[in-house]
Chain A
């Protein structure tokens, strides 16, 4: 039963774009920030899919004679504490970055949007019930929930992604619910109802398109948070298990060398930073295109 103002103030309110997605994409291409962000994201996806084919070294081969070597011509980003080439590990690690973004956001968005939709457009008892459930999820301390899930199901990158995803559900639910409640009162929806359209039709044809752009913008900002949350779990040794070159885990393990071998932190740190920056740039550009009010 949080106030409407909460939902209203949170993210950009999309205005219906009758011209549709093609117009949006064309606008997007015009912005330089979107191009930069998009290029980086594209590169990430390429790495995620094909990195094993073009990495210079085996990212898992332990070579204790080659430990902690600074960046050089042979190893562009240096080697880590087990002698593994950092460039190769970072490139392979892109796949986990993409995975974390996709999986946790998919879980959070699919369940959250569904809950938000039925809460906003269903009968009021359903709204109250769903919001209670959301409240319970939000009131439960995130860290305990995550650790408990991992305690039950075992530590792994997948568990980390799932628990980060679950923790993200309430955000989407609230966002969508608010949007739905606002759109429900618009005139054209009243018109549709007067013309005899059923609730499902209204939901699909009128509500979803409006809500979609907000969801997409919200996603682009949630992804970095999901990545950082997964990295936080690596801090406790509960995320990606060794020897996976997940960037968050690499950064966590490199912290003992912060001063003696700065490149072991710089490599994953830069990777994380650049990727999150790209996502933010894309998100910014999307918002600028889809919501003229924030210009």
Chain B
């Protein structure tokens, strides 16, 4: 297993290199950059021309994309992520806490989505075709059809303004509640569907009938025998969604003021702050590799039939 992990990590290296190359290539194609944007109020570019030249040289923006790629690669190997063009502060200051925030939100949403989704799916599968099943699946369809920003705003109005259970401007750990609920409940929809169909399939298998015949309690049958196998599909879908959550939660982050990577990414592109976008891409790629690895390892745990030593 550790050999497998080592191999996977090694194979990830060309992916990361590839991503960085693409990054600098795309950046070269983008018409403006942060220096232009910073001096947006410059009413006579002649006055500012000198200043712009100084700044561009400082951030290597006057070199070819390939040179920039090489310089950047050399820097990150030494652990230097550079300085934000816009704030002139080290990138790591900006990204560090945001990365942690995004991880927090992602985990919280995944937990809510998984728990609510799996429970709903189990109930729906168990009481298949009953009104409970139909209701659950219909509500689930809401989750798939609902734009996240809409749902988020509705939740704010319901919980903060109408019910007044939470302040609008939330402090501390409480600020995680609404955004995690928004994302989590939306996540629960596809999870419950997959959980339901997986459970239905698993519950019809031979060994379940055998377990029941042996006289085991329903609870044991469901949770101990059936669920682990049904979870394979759930883990897959959650694994796929992690990418979405990490990257696409920017609307939720903007609405709830959650200082995460998504919001930073949007702002960084708008400001053309390339040092920040490069760091985001790097961290995104790294996370992707790790998450994939984690999902695959989770598979072996859930389904002992899958064996990686041969691959």
Contact = CB atoms under 8 A, between A and B. Distances in A.
Interface of A: 1-3, 5-6, 9-10, 132-133, 135-136, 138-144, 147-148, 151-152, 224, 228-229, 231-232, 235-236, 248, 251-252, 255, 258-259, 265, 269, 272-273, 276-277, 280, 293-295
Nearest to A276: B145
Interface in B195-222: 197, 200-201
Given A3-B311, A224-B144, 9 more contacts: A9-B232, A9-B236, A138-B243, A140-B284, A147-B269, A152-B29, A231-B147, A232-B250, A235-B149
B150 A255 contact: yes
Given A9-B232, A142-B243, A232-B251, A3 B147 contact: no
A277 B143 CA distance: 10
Interface string B1-32: 00000001001001110110011001101110
Tell me whether chain B's interface is mostly helix, strand or loop, or mixed: helix
Interface residues of B, number: 63
Contacts of A229: 248
22 contacts: A6-B296, A135-B15, A136-B15, A140-B22, A140-B281, A141-B246, A141-B280, A141-B281, A142-B248, A143-B247, A143-B265, A144-B265, A144-B280, A148-B26, A224-B144, A224-B145, A228-B147, A232-B250, A235-B254, A258-B153, A276-B144, A294-B200
Contacts of A140: 19, 22-23, 281, 284-285
B311 A143 contact: no
A290 to B, nearest CB: 13
Contact of B266 (A139, A143, A294, A295): A143
A204 to B, nearest CB: 29
A140 B15 CA distance: 10
Contacts of B250: 143, 232
Interface of B: 8, 11, 14-16, 18-19, 22-23, 26-27, 29-31, 141-142, 144-150, 153-154, 157, 197, 200-201, 232-233, 236, 239, 243-244, 246-248, 250-251, 254, 261-262, 265-266, 269-270, 272, 277, 280-281, 284-285, 288-289, 292, 295-296, 299, 303, 306, 308, 311
B293 to A, nearest CB: 10
A250 B292 CA distance: 37
Contact of A236 (B200, B248, B266, B281): B266
Contacts of A295: 200
B232 A259 contact: no
B279 to A, nearest CB: 11
A188 B299 CA distance: 30
Given A143-B250, A258-B153, A294-B201, A273 B236 contact: no
Contact of A294 (B197, B254, B295): B197
Contacts of B247: 141-144
A246 to B, nearest CB: 12
Contacts of B292: 2
Given A3-B306, A142-B247, A151-B30, A265 B281 contact: no
A152 B33 CA distance: 12
A273 B11 CA distance: 42
Contacts of A1: 8, 11, 311
Contacts of B243: 138, 142
Instruction: Report the 5 A-B pairs with minimum CB-CB distance, sorted nearest first.
Output: A276-B145, A139-B288, A141-B284, A139-B285, A147-B269
Nearest to A259: B157
A117 B178 CA distance: 43
A280 B262 CA distance: 28
A295 B201 CA distance: 8
Contacts of A138: 243, 288
